[in-house]
């Protein structure tokens, strides 16, 4: 029996014939899952007549850039260029991702490795916040934002996005895996809490940071709610909001091509960031108690 397994690895680093049975299952599933991505790309380059063919075609026959040209022309005709909406979205998303990483990582370190009186109540509040969806707190959120004077300001896109309860939970659970002896040894050598956080904790929690970056990015980049509820000035609104108005600015039929092009522009950053960081996400889930 032992001789039959001689020379065979459980998880070979290179291709082995024992992997064929798994590949026969994985490849069809992967091909099926990639179909929506292919459809988004093909749909954005379809000419007007192919958009409404029946039965519909999955692959574009005569690709064209007219949808993208029309998208930029219509945006310019409204008085606010498309580049302004994109600039707003890119700036807001970058700031929220960066600041949410700082807030979540510092808070996670404090809740995991530091001792202070409000540690348990704050952790409980964060865990309770995980149970609430955004719609359930829409009214109190609006009242707080109005009280702070953030209505129709650029900061109304940024400050509410810094609260990422699931990100704080994941980072806290990840930092729990760091041995206390490592931190105590650094403090014995004279390191301050900030030096421990910056030089020891941050390098060890890169997978969790990548996960928070993805969560924050997707939540902010795809969010049109802030522009609809809190913003009156057109120049402060985001590309996600503009995308929702495409079919209403024109008629529902004429706006479909531009909506398809805008959908591709909205989708590409999500795809790119997930491709580069997905391995970090899996590592975070494996170390955060989420099975």
For residue 160, the domain's CATH number is 1.10.3720.10
Torsion sign (Cα): 84, 85, 89, 90 = negative
Q: Is 246 found in the same domain as 150?
A: yes
Q: Is 102 found in the same domain as 33?
A: no
In this structure, the number of other CB atoms found within 10 A of the CB of residue 69 comes to 13
- Domain ends where: 15, 34, 66? 66
Give 153's contacts (C-beta < 8 A, 6+ positions apart). Answer: 236
Q: Which residues of 200-214 are buried (b: 16+ CB within 10 A; e: fewer)?
A: bbeeebebbbbbbbb
- Domain ends where: 36, 66, 96? 66
CA atoms in the 13 A half-sphere facing the CB of 99: 15
Q: Is 114 found in the same domain as 34?
A: no
Q: Is 127 found in the same domain as 261?
A: yes
User: What pLDDT score was predicted for residue 102?
Assistant: 94
Nearest one of 190, 272, 193, 236 to 85, comparing CA atoms: 236
Q: Is 127 found in the same domain as 43?
A: no
Q: What does each of the 291 residues of the chain score in pLDDT, given as a tens digit?
A: 444 444 445 555 676 677 788 888 888 898 888 888 898 898 888 888 888 877 878 888 888 888 888 888 776 666 778 888 889 999 999 999 999 999 999 999 999 998 888 889 999 999 898 888 777 888 888 999 999 999 999 999 999 888 888 889 989 988 998 899 999 999 998 888 899 999 999 998 888 898 889 889 988 998 888 898 999 888 899 988 888 777 555 556 667 788 888 888 888 888 888 888 776 666 655 555 444
Examine residue 274 and state whether it is found in any structural domain, yes or no. Answer: yes
User: What pLDDT score was predicted for residue 75?
Assistant: 66
d(CA 33, CA 139): 38
Instruction: Find the helix packing angle between 206-221 and 256-287, rounded to 10°.
Output: 160
User: What pLDDT score was predicted for residue 155?
Assistant: 92
Tokens at 65, concatenated: 């850039």
Torsion sign (Cα): 112, 117, 118, 123 = positive
Examine residue 74 and state whether it is found in any structural domain, yes or no. Answer: no
Residue range of the domain that includes 7: 3-66
- Domain ends where: 66, 91, 115? 66
Q: Is 157 found in the same domain as 54?
A: no
> Please, are residues 242 and 262 in contact by the beta-carbon 8 Å criterion?
yes
pTM: 0.80
User: What pLDDT score was predicted for residue 4?
Assistant: 44
Nearest one of 113, 241, 247 to 182, comparing CA atoms: 113
> Please, are residues 171 and 104 in contact by the beta-carbon 8 Å criterion?
yes
User: What pLDDT score was predicted for residue 101?
Assistant: 93
Number of domains forming the structure of the chain:
2
Among all chains, which residue has been given the structure tokens 């949410």? 100
Examine residue 75 and state whether it is found in any structural domain, yes or no. Answer: no
Q: Is 58 found in the same domain as 95?
A: no
Nearest one of 177, 211, 203 to 279, comparing CA atoms: 211
């Amino acid at each position: 029996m032992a001789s039959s397994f001689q020379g065979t690895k459980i998880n070979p680093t290179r291709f082995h014939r024992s992997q064929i049975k798994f590949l026969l299952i994985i490849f069809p599933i992967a091909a099926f899952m990639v179909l929506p991505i292919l459809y988004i790309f093909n749909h954005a380059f379809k000419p007007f007549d192919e958009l409404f063919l029946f039965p519909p075609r999955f692959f574009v026959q005569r690709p064209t850039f007219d949808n993208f040209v029309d998208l930029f022309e219509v945006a310019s005709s409204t008085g606010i260029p498309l580049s302004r909406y994109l600039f707003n979205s890119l700036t807001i998303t970058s700031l929220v991702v960066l600041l949410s990483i700082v807030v979540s990582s510092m808070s996670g370190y404090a809740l995991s490795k530091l001792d202070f009186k409000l540690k348990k109540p704050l952790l409980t509040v964060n865990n309770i916040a995980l149970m609430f969806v955004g719609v359930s707190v829409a009214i109190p959120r609006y009242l707080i934002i109005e009280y702070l004077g953030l209505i129709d300001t650029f900061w109304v896109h940024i400050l509410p996005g810094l609260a990422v309860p699931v990100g704080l939970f994941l980072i806290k659970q990840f930092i729990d895996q760091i041995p206390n002896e490592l931190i105590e040894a650094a403090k014995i050598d004279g390191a301050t809490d900030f030096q421990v956080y910056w030089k020891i904790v941050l390098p060890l929690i890169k997978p969790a940071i990548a996960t928070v970056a993805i969560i924050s990015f997707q939540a902010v980049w795809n969010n049109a709610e802030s522009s609809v509820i809190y913003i009156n000035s057109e120049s402060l609104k985001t590309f996600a909001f503009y995308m929702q108005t495409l079919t209403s600015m024109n008629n529902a039929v004429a706006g479909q091509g531009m909506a398809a092009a805008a959908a591709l522009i909205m989708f590409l950053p999500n795809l790119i960031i997930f491709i580069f960081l997905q391995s970090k996400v899996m590592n975070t889930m494996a170390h955060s108690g989420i099975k």
